[in-house]
């Protein structure tokens, strides 16, 4: 599975170097075009004030579907997301369906009348909520104050304090847009001095940015009243007295408005003009990684899993960047109709980049034969680590540098992915006397075992190099005695008393032998050399 | 032949293509002065060395103990791929090889052994690679391993059965070993130095502490 071409900006995080540069006053030299007003030094010298970015995802349901769909052809055909209920309704319709006349909110029966056998997918509000929270986690990289509004598929991000870091509001909006586009989402973004203004501008697809109250007022004046989130009765009442635009409202006296149309209207106006603060709770992401993807089509071959897996890994990377965490191992659960297959992957060094994890998973999946068709994927990691220093990857590429003492070779993950986890091990000393039982394989390579010195018993049996057996052997001609091992004398019938020796056999092998004192029988324990 | 070698070893004679490795080429000590000289300083790092011989256990691993000790003490990893027996690490530790630096990789096919070897050589963490082949293998695979070795800082040692000597190999050096009285006899089948041309076997006595 090759990497399909993707836009250069997609999903790649802002380079730290660029962030640094944009903090410098020399930044305009990089972008000679006239900067929007907020980049003026005069305004940036001010105390950063709250500024909100409202991110509306009007096509969340469809885009969430498209993420799991490996076959783009299928998305060209009419597709409806259906809300079940007494009368099933269309929740979302793709472009082909809309062209044919289907509209969100329409009864399903009406939509079916205009469409020729559309694909129907059930609306799943819980999945969309999870999806939106995932995106909120991703947006944490732009601000620490993120507030998802799942009912309306919208996320609010406070960017007043981070705008300078990202090179101004315009650049910040572009980065947010690119980040989401890289994950397959196409948002409408509005920026405003209050959450309400940002929501309104996002809804109106108005890209203007108002920095001061006067501009905001001018910006909002031509907005039709239908666009405001008002109760139907209020809206009717306003229309009845001949008010059409927001500007008309702003010209009227406040006490009069409150008296006629209720205090909610005034409250909304105040929130729109940032005259009244609106407190939004902060979103805190779960400290674990748990992403799932439901496949609309069954997948029968492991190679076909690469596409949805790549989506998941990108999503994981974005989320980890938002959390500023990294990980060393993760579990992939393949959901079948009846059962599930669980696969784990452990790497030598922590990392979050999807480009690094994907080839590992691909190698790992190549070994796997699917018992049944896969209908879903779930990616989990319970242990998130601090991100590695950025310098590490530079050093690792230089073969002249001495290896870092505490780090595992990066190659381990690749070896395990192809050869299987039990094939790649470190041996640990269990400190039991009998050599054939004294060594255990250690598969959990992430933890370096504490160095264990050989026990005195292990020293007496000699510094042989290779262990095998024990197998019965013929008595050697000239044994060179090494030492005596006594074990299990407390355990009746299990005791072992052995005299160890090394000897040369006729083929020239240097054998490591012992004689059992109970039976007098010789055994080969391994090779000396 | 002897006269030519004397001439070629004369310090006043400069040859366009240096027959012996440059004196500063990285090596791991072999622990044996004569062998160091014959190998051009020690076991070469960044080279693929084949050791041909049988049977397993005749002292051909003990031959490399000084190199393994030096490698482990420099915090490099040692990859042990597809050995015919299990390493007895308390023994290795007694000889000065840190056991936590030994990575044991088991494979089912020689093809996987060579693949794993190549992967390890591409990782800068490894200083020594020991791999065992059971059967004849395609030269193309060995060439990949040679390439990976020459781009690494590790000494890649490939143990092969003695009949592999009949097959040409892209390895930098090929040595045939044979058990001899209280030691090991080494023949150089292929190499860049004086030793390969002389055709003389080298007798390496077993280390006294062993």
Structure tokens at A189: 């973004």
Instruction: Name the residue in chain A with its Cα closest to that of B150.
Output: A399
* Cβ contact A424–B103 (<8 Å): yes
Cross-strand bridge partners of residue A473: A522
Cα–Cα distance, A182 to A355 (Å, whole number): 13
CA distance A4 to chain B (A): 26
Q: CB-based contact (8 Å) between A385 and chain B? A: no
What is the mean predicted confidence (pLDDT) over A67-94?
80
Residue (of A150, A132, A163) closest to A63 by Cα position: A132
Is the pLDDT reported for residue B2 higher than 70? no
Q: CB-based contact (8 Å) between A447 and chain B? A: no
Cα–Cα distance, B55 to A509 (Å, whole number): 7
Select from A405, A473, A508 the residue whose CB has the most chain B CBs within 10 Å, as the one to mutate to test that interface.
Answer: A508
Residue (of B64, B62, B75, B190) closest to B125 by Cα position: B75
Q: CB-based contact (8 Å) between B73 and chain A? A: no
Distance of CA A193 to the CA centre of its chain: 31
CA distance B66 to chain A (A): 13
pLDDT band at A190 (very low <50, low <70, confident <90, very high): very high
pLDDT band at B64 (very low <50, low <70, confident <90, very high): very high
Number of domains within chain B = 1
Strand order across the beta sheet in which B77-81 lies: A439-442, A424-429, B102-105, B77-81, B126-132, B155-160, B47-52, B173-180, B183-190, B202-205
Q: CB-based contact (8 Å) between A446 and chain B? A: no
Query: When comparing pLDDT for B7 and B104, which is higher?
Result: B104
Instruction: Name the residue in chain A with its Cα closest to that of B86.
Output: A467
pLDDT for the residue A48 = 54
Cα–Cα distance, A143 to A160 (Å, whole number): 9
* Cβ contact A451–B99 (<8 Å): yes
Residue B193: CATH number of its domain: 3.40.50.300
Asked whether residue B20 is domain-assigned, the answer is: no
pLDDT for the residue A432 = 81
* Cβ contact B88–A401 (<8 Å): no
What is the mean predicted confidence (pLDDT) over B134-139?
89
pLDDT for the residue B79 = 94
What is the mean predicted confidence (pLDDT) over B144-164?
92
Residue (of A41, A20, A45, A43) closest to A30 by Cα position: A20
User: Taking the alpha carbons of A215, A217, A221, A227 in that order, is the dihedral positive or negative?
Assistant: positive
Instruction: Name the residue in chain B with its Cα closest to that of A502.
Output: B210
**Sequential DSSP letters for A115-145:** SSS-EEEE--HHHHHHHHHHHHHHHTTT-S-
Domain A47-77+118-285 -> CATH class: alpha beta
B111 half-sphere exposure, CB direction, 13 A CA radius: 2
Length of chain B: 210
Task: State pLDDT tens for residues A343-365.
Answer: 888 877 778 888 888 988 988 88
- Give CA angle at A175 (A171, A180), nearest 5°: 150
Q: CB-based contact (8 Å) between A459 and chain B? A: yes
Rounded to two decimals, the ipTM of the complex is 0.86
Structure tokens at A116: 């020729």
Is the pLDDT reported for residue A82 higher than 70? yes
User: Contact at 8 Å (CB) between B88 and A524?
Assistant: no
Number of A–B residue contacts, CB under 8 Å: 166
User: Contact at 8 Å (CB) between A483 and A460?
Assistant: yes
Return the percentage of chain A with pLDDT > 90, whole number: 10
Is the pLDDT reported for residue A41 higher than 50? no
Cα–Cα distance, A478 to A191 (Å, whole number): 90
Residue burial B41-64, b: 16+ Cβ < 10 Å; e: rest: bbbbbbbbbbbbbbebbbbbbbbb
Beta strands in A57-187 (DSSP E): 79-83, 89-93, 119-122, 146-149, 154-158
Q: Which fold has domain A289-392?
A: Dna Ligase; domain 1 (3.30.1490)
Is the pLDDT reported for residue A71 higher than 80? no
Place of tokens 């991000």: A157
Structural domain of B50: 25-205
Instruction: Give phi and psi for A182, each to the nearest 5.
Output: -65, -25
pLDDT for the residue B10 = 63
CA distance B120 to chain A (A): 6
Cα–Cα distance, B39 to B188 (Å, whole number): 10
- Give CA angle at A264 (A258, A268), nearest 5°: 105
pLDDT for the residue A444 = 67
Instruction: Give phi and psi for B3, each to the nearest 5.
Output: -65, -40
Is the pLDDT reported for residue A392 higher than 60? no
* Cβ contact A529–B61 (<8 Å): yes
Distance of CA B25 to the CA centre of its chain: 15
What is the mean predicted confidence (pLDDT) over B204-208?
75
Residue (of A120, A275, A201, A152) closest to A111 by Cα position: A120
Cα–Cα distance, B111 to B118 (Å, whole number): 11
Instruction: Indicate the domain borders of chain A.
Output: 47-77+118-285, 289-392, 456-527
Residue (of A525, A380, A393) closest to A466 by Cα position: A525
Q: CB-based contact (8 Å) between B205 and chain A? A: no
SS (H, E, C) chain B: CHHHHHHHCCCCCCCCCCCCCCCCCCEECCCCHHHHHHHCCCEECCEEEEEECCCCCCCCCHHHHHHHHHHHHCCCEEEEECCCCEECHHHHHHCCCCHHHEEEECCCCHHHHHHHHHHHHCCCCEEEEEEECCCCCCHHHHHHHHHHHHCCCCEEEEEECHHHHHCCCCCCEEEEEEEECCEEEEEEEECCCHHHHHCCCEEEECCCCC
Select from B45, B101, B124, B207 the residue whose CB has the most chain A CBs within 10 Å, as the one to mutate to test that interface.
Answer: B124
Cα–Cα distance, B71 to B42 (Å, whole number): 13
A511 half-sphere exposure, CB direction, 13 A CA radius: 26
Is the pLDDT reported for residue A110 higher than 90? no
Facing residue for A510 by CB, picked from B59, B84, B115: B59
Q: CB-based contact (8 Å) between B111 and chain A? A: no
Residue (of A424, A463, A462) closest to A443 by Cα position: A424
Q: CB-based contact (8 Å) between B135 and chain A? A: no
Residue (of A491, A489, A485) closest to A514 by Cα position: A485
Asked whether residue B2 is domain-assigned, the answer is: no
What is the mean predicted confidence (pLDDT) over B100-120?
91
- Report chain A residues whose CB lies below 8 A from the CB of B121: none
Asked, as a colleague might, if the bond just before A470 is cis with ω within 30 of 0, I would say: yes
Rg (CA), chain A: 33
Query: When comparing pLDDT for B109 and B11, which is higher?
Result: B109
Return the percentage of chain A with pLDDT > 70, whole number: 83
Cα–Cα distance, A442 to A426 (Å, whole number): 5
Which range has the top average pLDDT, A22-36, A64-78, A335-349? Answer: A335-349
State the average pLDDT for chain A: 79
Facing residue for B94 by CB, picked from A411, A415, A459: A459
- Report chain A residues whose CB lies below 8 A from the CB of B123: 409-411
* Cβ contact B125–A403 (<8 Å): yes
Comparing A200-214, A387-401, A419-433, B166-180, the range with the smallest average pLDDT is A387-401
* Cβ contact B56–A527 (<8 Å): yes
CA distance B198 to chain A (A): 26
pLDDT for the residue A493 = 65
pLDDT for the residue A490 = 67
CA distance B4 to chain A (A): 36
Structure tokens at A525: 């324990």
* Cβ contact A465–B58 (<8 Å): no
What is the mean predicted confidence (pLDDT) over A144-167?
89
What is the mean predicted confidence (pLDDT) over B135-141?
89
Facing residue for A429 by CB, picked from B55, B59, B90: B90
pLDDT for the residue A43 = 42
Asked, as a colleague might, if the bond just before A250 is cis with ω within 30 of 0, I would say: no
0.80 exceeded by pTM: no
CA distance A423 to chain B (A): 5
DSSP A228: S
Asked whether residue B134 is domain-assigned, the answer is: yes
Interface of A with B in 100-139 (CB under 8 A): none
Instruction: Name the residue in chain B with its Cα closest to that of A425.
Output: B104
State the average pLDDT for chain B: 85
Task: State pLDDT tens for residues A468-512.
Answer: 878 998 888 888 888 888 876 666 666 778 899 988 888 888 999
Facing residue for B116 by CB, picked from A405, A419, A468: A419
- C-beta neighbour count of A439 within 10 angstroms: 20
- Report chain B residues whose CB lies below 8 A from the CB of A480: none
Rg (CA), chain B: 17
């Amino acid at each position: 599975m090759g990497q399909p071409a993707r836009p250069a900006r997609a999903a790649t995080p802002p380079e730290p170097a660029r962030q640094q540069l944009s903090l410098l006053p020399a930044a305009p030299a990089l972008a000679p075009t006239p900067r929007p007003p907020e980049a003026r030094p005069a305004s940036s010298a001010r105390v950063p004030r709250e500024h909100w970015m409202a991110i509306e995802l009007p096509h969340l349901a469809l885009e969430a579907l498209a993420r799991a769909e490996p076959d783009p052809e299928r998305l060209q055909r009419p597709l409806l997301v259906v809300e079940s209920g007494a009368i099933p309704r269309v929740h979302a319709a793709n472009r082909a369906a809309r062209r044919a006349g289907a509209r969100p909110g329409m009864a399903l029966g009406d939509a079916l009348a205009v469409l020729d056998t559309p694909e129907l997918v059930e609306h799943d509000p819980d999945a969309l909520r999870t999806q939106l929270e995932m995106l909120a986690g991703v947006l944490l990289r732009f601000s620490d104050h993120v507030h998802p509004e799942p009912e309306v598929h919208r996320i609010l991000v406070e960017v007043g304090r981070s705008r300078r870091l990202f090179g101004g509001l315009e650049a910040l909006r572009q980065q947010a847009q690119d980040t989401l586009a890289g994950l397959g989402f196409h948002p409408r973004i509005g920026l405003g001095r209050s959450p309400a203004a940002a929501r309104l501008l996002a809804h109106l697809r108005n890209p203007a940015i108002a920095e001061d109250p006067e501009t905001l007022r001018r910006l909002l004046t031509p907005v039709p009243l239908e666009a405001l989130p008002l109760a139907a009765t209020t809206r009717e009442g306003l229309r009845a007295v001949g008010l059409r635009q927001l500007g008309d409202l702003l010209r009227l006296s406040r006490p009069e408005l409150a008296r006629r149309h209720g205090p909610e209207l005034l409250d909304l106006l105040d929130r729109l003009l940032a005259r009244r603060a609106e407190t939004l709770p902060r979103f805190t992401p779960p400290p674990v990684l748990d992403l799932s993807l439901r496949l609309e089509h069954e997948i029968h071959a492991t190679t076909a899993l690469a596409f949805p897996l790549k989506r998941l890994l990108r999503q994981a990377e974005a989320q980890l960047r938002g959390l500023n965490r990294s990980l060393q191992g993760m579990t992939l659960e393949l959901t079948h109709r009846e059962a599930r297959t669980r696969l784990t992957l452990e790497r030598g060094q922590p990392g979050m980049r999807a480009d690094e994890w994907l080839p590992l998973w691909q190698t790992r999946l190549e070994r796997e034969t699917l018992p049944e068709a896969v209908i879903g994927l779930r990616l989990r990691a319970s242990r998130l680590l601090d991100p590695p220093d950025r310098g590490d990857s530079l050093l690792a590429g230089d073969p002249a540098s001495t290896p870092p003492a505490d780090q595992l070779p990066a190659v381990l993950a690749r070896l395990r992915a192809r050869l299987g986890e039990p094939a790649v091990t470190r041996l640990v000393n269990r400190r039991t006397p009998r050599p054939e039982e004294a060594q255990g394989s250690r598969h959990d390579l992430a933890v370096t075992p504490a160095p264990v010195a050989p026990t005195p018993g292990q020293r007496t049996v000699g510094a042989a190099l290779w262990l095998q057996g024990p197998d019965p052997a013929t008595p050697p001609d000239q044994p060179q005695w090494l030492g005596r091992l006594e074990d299990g004398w407390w355990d009746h019938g299990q005791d072992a008393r052995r005299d160890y020796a090394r000897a040369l056999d006729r083929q020239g092998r240097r054998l490591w032998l012992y004689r059992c004192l109970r039976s007098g029988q010789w055994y080969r324990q391994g090779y000396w050399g | 032949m002897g006269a030519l070698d004397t001439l070629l070893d004369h310090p006043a004679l400069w040859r366009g293509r240096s027959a012996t490795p440059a004196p500063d080429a990285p090596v791991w000590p072999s622990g044996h002065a004569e062998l160091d000289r014959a190998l051009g300083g020690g076991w070469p790092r960044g080279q693929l060395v084949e050791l041909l011989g049988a049977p397993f256990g005749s002292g051909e691993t003990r031959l490399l103990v000084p190199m393994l000790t030096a490698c482990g003490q420099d915090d490099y990893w040692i990859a042990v791929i597809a050995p015919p027996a299990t390493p007895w690490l308390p023994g290795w530790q007694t000889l000065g090889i840190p056991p936590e630096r030994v990575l044991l990789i088991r494979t089912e096919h020689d093809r996987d052994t060579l693949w794993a070897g190549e992967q390890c050589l591409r990782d800068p963490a490894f200083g020594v690679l020991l791999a065992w082949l059971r059967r004849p293998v395609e030269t193309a695979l060995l060439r990949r391993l040679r390439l990976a070795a020459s781009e690494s800082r590790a000494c890649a040692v490939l143990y092969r059965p003695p009949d592999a000597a009949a097959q040409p190999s892209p390895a930098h050096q090929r040595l045939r070993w044979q058990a001899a009285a209280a030691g090991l006899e080494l023949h150089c089948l292929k190499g860049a130095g004086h030793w390969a041309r002389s055709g003389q076997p080298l007798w390496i006595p077993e280390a006294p502490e062993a």
